[in-house]
Amino acid sequence: MTAHVKPKALENFKARDFRMLIDGAWTEGTGQPIERIAPGHGIVVSRYPAGSKGDAERTIAAARKAFDDGPWPSMTGAERSNILLKAADLIAARADELAFLDCIESGKPISQAKGELGGAVDIWRYAAALARDLHGESYNTLGDGTLGVVLREAIGVVSIITPWNFPFLIVSQKLPFALAAGCTTVVKPSELTSGSTLVLGEILIEAGVPAGVVNIVTGTGPEVGAPMTTHPDVDMVSFTGSTGVGRLTMANAAQTLKKVSLELGGKNPQIVFPDADLDAFVDAAVFGAYFNAGECCNAGSRLILHTSIAADVTARIADLAKKVKVGDPLDPATQVGAIITPQHLAKIGAYVDGAAKAGASVALGGAALDLGLGQFMAPTILSGVQPDMAVAREEVFGPVLSVLTFETTEEAIRIANAIDYGLSAGVWSRDFDTCLTVGRKVRAGTIWMNTFMDGASELPFGGYRQSGLGRELGRHAVEDYTETKTLNMHIGARTGWWMPR
Ligand code: NDP
C-alpha cells in the first residue's frame, strides 16, 4: 500500500465548471452548482449545474421536437454511422482528458479509467456498424394476395440515466445504440460524476449530431431523473443503477407504459471445484473482488469454494490481496482507488461489522484506510460466511469478498441461485461437463468459465431476476431502441366483407 501524497498533477489544479446541454445550447443552472469533491483527494474538482424539474422538461421538449421534426430519425443508417464513427475518433483523441475526469470524480485508478475509455471507443465503433445493419423482416410466404413487411422504427425519445461507478463506459453502453437506431435522447449522469458525460456532449456536437438529439441535464435523481421517467413525451427509459431506484423507475414508467431497460445490482458467485487451475482462479478472485474497489455490479463478491480447497485457496487469495496497491487514483501504479463518498464507506463498514456479529471471520482487512486525504477501504475477506447472512445476499458495493463453501455440485448451484440477483457468475473446473452443467443451471445473464469479468462489445450484458430487464451490447442492443411495425400489404382485387366481388 502506498502512503497518500497530494499528487503533482493537482498542485495547480483549478476546479472545472460545467454547463448542461439543452437543445444544442450550453446552459447554466439557476440554483447553487453541485460541487464534486474528489473521493481520493478531498478537494473540489468539478461543478455542475443543479438542474431543476423545469430543466428536465425543457430537455425532454427539445428531444421530442428533434425526434418529431428533426433530421436525425430520417437520416440513412450510413449517415448516422459516419457521425458515430467520427464521435468514436474524437473520444479516442480526448481519452486522456475523459479518463482524468472519471479518475478524479469517481476515485478509480487512472490506468483503469484509461482502459475503460479504450473499451468505450470500441463500443461506439461497434454501434456505428450496427446503425447500417438495422433491418426488419419480410414475409413472402403469405400467398399471392399478401406481402408482409416488418419494419424496425426508432422508438422515439429515450431517457438515459446512469450511475457513478463507470461514468463514461455506462453511457457508452446506451447512447450510441439509441443514436444508431435514430432515437433522440435526454441523458442524466450521476450528480457525483457528470464531467465526462458533459465533455461527451461537446464531442457529439463536433461530430455532427444535430441540436436536440442528445441533451444532457445534470442534477439529482429525484429532481431531474424522476421527470425523465414519468413525462408522457418520453417513449423509453434506459436506466443503470441500484435495484431500489430501478424498481421505482419501472413503477414511474408504468404510469404511461413506457418501455424500460434496467441494468441493476448483482451478488455474483464464483464456484470453484478442486480440479480447477487454482493459480488462475486466485488471480481472478482478487481481480473480481477488488477491481473498481468492488464498486462494480459485476463484482465477484461471493466465492463458493469446494470444502476440500477452501482453507488453502482463501489463504492464497489473502496473500495476493495484501499485494494489491491501494492508493492515490492518479498514481499510474494504483490498482484500487478511493470509495465514492464517506457515506458509502460507512455503509461498507457496517456490512463488515454486521457479518462479524453474525459469525463470519475477518480473514483480511475489514477497516477503512487512512491515506491522508479522501476515503479508502482495505481489501477485505470474510470467511465462514453462511448463505443466509446479509453480506452473502446483498450488494455491498465495496472491496469485500465473502467466502462460502459447498460439498456437492447441486449444493453449489443451489447457493448460487438462492438470492434475488442474477447478473453474472463464474465457474472454475478443468472438467468440461462440470462447467457446462453449472453454467446452464446458474440463473444469471453472463457465465464466465475459467475466467472472470471479461467482456466484448459483441456480447450481450444484463441480468436475470432483480438484476435487471433487457440486454445491452451485442447485435440486438440497437433493436432495444426500436418499435416493430407490421406492413400488411394486399395485392390484387380484395374480397369484400359485405359485398363479395
Ligand atoms: P442509484 O440507483 O442511486 O443512481 C443511479 C442513477 O439514478 C443516478 O443518476 C441517480 O441520480 C438516479 N436516480 C436516483 N433517484 C432517482 C429517481 N427517483 N428517479 C430517477 N433517477 C434517479 O445508483 P448509484 O449511482 O448509487 O450506482 C450504484 C448502483 O448502480 C449499484 O447498486 C450498482 O449495483 C448499480 N449498477 C448496476 C450496473 C449494471 O449494469 N447492472 C452497472 C453499474 C452500477 P443521482 O445519484 O445523481 O441523484
Under 8 Å between Cβ of 161 and 110 = no
Nearest to 50 by CA among 223, 183, 262, 249: 223
Q: How far is the centre of ligand 1, averaged over its atoms, from the C-alpha of 250 (Å)?
A: 13
Tens place of pLDDT per residue across the chain (501 aa): 444 456 777 878 899 999 999 999 999 988 899 999 999 999 999 999 999 999 999 999 999 999 999 899 999 999 999 999 999 999 999 999 999 999 999 999 999 999 999 999 999 999 999 999 999 999 999 999 999 999 999 999 999 999 999 999 999 999 999 999 999 999 999 999 999 999 999 999 999 999 999 999 999 999 999 999 999 999 999 999 999 999 999 999 999 999 999 999 999 999 999 999 999 999 999 999 999 999 999 999 999 999 999 999 999 999 999 999 999 999 999 999 999 999 999 999 999 999 999 999 999 999 999 998 899 999 999 999 999 999 999 999 999 999 999 999 999 999 999 999 999 999 999 999 999 999 999 999 999 999 999 999 999 999 999 999 999 999 999 999 999 999 999 999 887 787 665
Inside any domain, residue 404:
yes
The confidence score (pLDDT) of residue 285 equals 98
Looking at the fold, whether 315 and 383 belong to one and the same domain comes out as yes
Q: What is the pLDDT of residue 208?
A: 98
Mark out the alpha helices in 94-194 (DSSP H runs).
Answer: 95-106, 110-133, 167-172, 175-181
Pair 156, 182 in one domain: yes
Q: Which of 263, 295, 395, 479 is catalytic?
A: 263
Written as nine digits, the cell of 2 is 502506498
**pLDDT the model gives residue 501:** 55
Q: Please check whether residue 206 is in contact with residue 29, taking contact to mean a CB–CB distance below 8 angstroms.
A: no
* 259 belongs to a structural domain: yes
DSSP sequence for 338-379? --S-HHHHHHHHHHHHHHHHTT-EEEE--SEE--SSS-EE--
Q: 367 C-alpha to center of ligand 1: Å?
A: 25
Asked if 273 and 214 sit in the same domain, the reply is no
Domain enclosing residue 141, as ranges: 8-264+467-485
Domain membership of residue 490 (yes or no) is: no
The answer on 148 and 173 residing in a single domain is yes
Ligand 1 pocket mutation, candidates 165, 191, 194, criterion most atoms within 8 A of CB: 165
- Assess whether 353 and 433 both reside in one domain: yes
Instruction: Write the CATH number for 215.
Output: 3.40.605.10
* 225 Cβ inside 6 Å of ligand 1: yes
Judgement on whether residues 424 and 471 belong to the same structural domain of the protein: no
Please give the pLDDT value at position 29: 83
**What is residue 2's predicted lDDT score, i.e. its pLDDT?**
44
* Same-domain check for residues 50 and 156: yes
pLDDT on residue 5: 53
In a domain, 173, yes or no: yes
CA distances in angstroms from 123 to 336, 346, 471, listed in the order given: 25, 35, 14
Q: Which of 159, 229, 231, 240 to mutate to test the pocket of ligand 1 (most atoms within 8 A of CB)?
A: 240
Same structural domain, 15 and 117: yes
Whose Cα sits closest to atom 11 in ligand 1?
A: 221
pLDDT for res 346: 98
- Residue spans of alpha helices (H) in 144-294: 167-172, 175-181, 195-207, 226-230, 243-254, 278-290
Q: Are residues 208 and 326 in the same domain?
A: no
Give residue 139's identity as a one-letter amino acid code: Y
- CA 390, CA 380: separation in Å to the nearest integer? 16
Domain presence at residue 236: yes
Same domain membership, residue 260 and residue 280:
no
> How many angstroms is it from 266 CA to the middle of ligand 1?
13
CATH number of the domain where residue 310 is located: 3.40.309.10
Expressed in angstroms and rounded, the spacing between residue 242 Cα and the centre of ligand 1 is 5
Residue 345 located in a structural domain: yes
Indicate whether 278 and 230 sit together in one domain.
no
- pLDDT of amino acid 3: 43
Active site residue 105: no
Is 244 found in the same domain as 185? yes
Alpha helices in 266-330 (DSSP H): 278-290, 307-322
Residue 226 lies in a domain: yes
Residue 492: inside a domain: no
242 Cβ inside 6 Å of ligand 1: yes
Number of structural domains (the chain) is 2
